[in-house]
Amino acid sequence: MDNTARKIRVAHVITCLTTGGAEMMLYKLLAHTDLTHFEPVVISLRGEADLSRRIRSHGISVYSLNMSLNLWAGWRILELVRLLRELQPDIVQGWMYHGNLAASLANMALGDRYPLLWNIRQTLYDIRHEPLATRGVIRMGAKLSKRPEHILYNSYLSADQHAAFGYPAQKTQIVPNGFDIQRFSPNAYYREDIRESLGIPSDALVIGMIARYHPMKNHALFLEAASLLMQHQKNVHFILAGREVTAENPELIPLLQRFPDRSHLHLLGERQDVYCVLNALDIFSLTSSRGEGFPNAIGEAMACGVPCIATDVGDIPLIIGKTGRVLQVPEATPSALAFAWLEWINAGEVWRKELGLRALQRIRKHYNIQNITTQYQNIYKELVNHVRTDGLLLPLNQTKFDRHAKQSAPDDIHPRTQGAG
């Protein structure tokens, strides 16, 4: 069959399908893929998880290999090798460090049969912050990083950091995260419903954060700032949601002791209705200290018309632009965050809503999931159009990565420029 007439089959190799940032971006990409021209399949190195069923509901096949992530044992890759040989994809795309490495090792075992893409979804401030096994995967990735045709990053800072670590800059392409602006949008009904269900008065000001519990998310900063603000503002409530963000989490219990009256603090755990919860907020904050590349939570809040105060991690300043405020990490103390919240409270509801409207417009202009999906699909088309002449892989036209080029970033903010308050 003529290559131009048949669908392009893309095999996505990902570490797992829990509801993390990378996994959710893959899901959104798949949900908006043009299935008349593309045939995606998903291979999870781990077992079945939350997103497996949701992906299959779109008519997309999901294979779960139940592998250990100890990829140094070559035999563990054999099942992936067999599956790729059976699927005969046009392109293999790895997601995250382990998915990239597994896809590369399997493709090498097949004689580099398939064009390969990598997708890196986090920053690399200091490799010592990573688990020991992950450090080895990152270092091995650097050694193999000339093999993929492109290394796709969702963050300019991540691309810089990995290039400094030995990942080739000439392979870099930046494709930011995209957001479903139909689901994530302002909604007065959701706002009232969530507030009523939590017993939050309609006139209360609500500040929140959506983030799984992990040291790099720095829930301590948020909670300590919240306890300070509550000493000065009685009609303020705080919502925290995300995996393991519950009162039963032993690592959160010492922080919760700062709140003798917890009626204004709402820990919701993992939620499937994040778009509803975000609508209940007046201010969104993300207090991460490291690790973020392009955090979905920031873009989702902005798409719901909620202005953001966040720490300067990853590409957060680029995402927020002039629609919010960014706190430099060394100066992002609990008192500094509490004072930033207080300034926005005193600025008034009309001012905050105007800021939220600008945030919404920014997401719709630059980070609409339909446009981001098109970027991925154009990369796939380019690969397929270049890859096969007598069964050989042809080199793509590469241009040196310049993270300061205007065409690479939204036109109203220079990469890594701090958003205005």
List every span in the chain annotated with CATH 3.40.50.2000.
8-178+368-408, 188-366
pLDDT on residue 143: 95
Which numeric CATH code is attached to 8-178+368-408? 3.40.50.2000
One-letter amino acid for residue 75 of the chain: W
pLDDT on residue 5: 64
What whole-number distance in Å separates Cα of residue 324 and Cα of residue 341?
11
Q: What is the 3-state secondary structure (H, E, C) of the chain?
A: CCCCCCCEEEEEEECCCCCCHHHHHHHHHHHCCCCCCEEEEEEECCCCCHHHHHHHCCCCEEEECCCCCCCCCHHHHHHHHHHHHHHCCCEEEEEHHHHHHHHHHHHHHCCCCCCEEEEECCCCCCHHHCCHHHHHHHHHHHHHCCCCCEEEECCHHHHHHHHHHCCCHHHEEECCCCECCCCCCCCHHHHHHHHHHHCCCCCCEEEEEECCCCHHHCHHHHHHHHHHHHCCCCCEEEEEECCCCCCCCCCCHHHHCCCCCHHHEEECCCCCCHHHHHHCCCEEEECCCCCCCCCHHHHHHHHCCCCEEEECCCCHHHHHCCCCEEECHHHCCHHHHHHHHHHHHHHCHHHHHHHHHHHHHHHHHHCEHHHHHHHHHHHHHHHHHHHCECCECCCCCCCCCCCCCHHHCCCCCCCCCCCCC
pLDDT on residue 66: 87
CA angle 398, 404, 405 (to 5 degrees): 55
Residue closest to 221 by CA, chosen among 287, 284, 267 = 287
CATH 3.40.50.2000 assigned to domain 188-366? The reply is yes
| CB-based contact 98:69 (threshold 8 Å) | yes
pLDDT on residue 402: 40
Residue closest to 405 by CA, chosen among 169, 178, 179 = 169
Here the tokens at position 168 are 């080739």
List 283's β-bridge partners, or say none: 207
Q: What is the 3-state secondary structure (H, E, C) of 397-408?
A: CCCCCCCCCHHH
Residue closest to 174 by CA, chosen among 419, 412, 13, 405 = 405
| pLDDT tens, per residue, the chain with 421 residues | 444 568 999 999 999 998 788 999 999 999 999 999 999 999 999 889 889 999 999 999 999 998 876 655 555 789 999 999 999 999 999 999 999 999 999 999 999 999 999 999 988 888 888 888 889 999 999 999 999 999 999 999 999 999 999 999 999 999 999 999 999 999 999 999 999 999 999 999 999 999 999 998 999 999 999 999 999 898 999 999 999 999 999 999 999 998 888 999 999 999 999 999 999 999 999 999 987 889 999 999 999 999 999 999 989 999 999 999 999 987 789 999 999 999 999 999 999 999 999 999 999 999 999 999 999 999 999 999 876 544 444 444 333 334 333 334 564 543 333 333 3
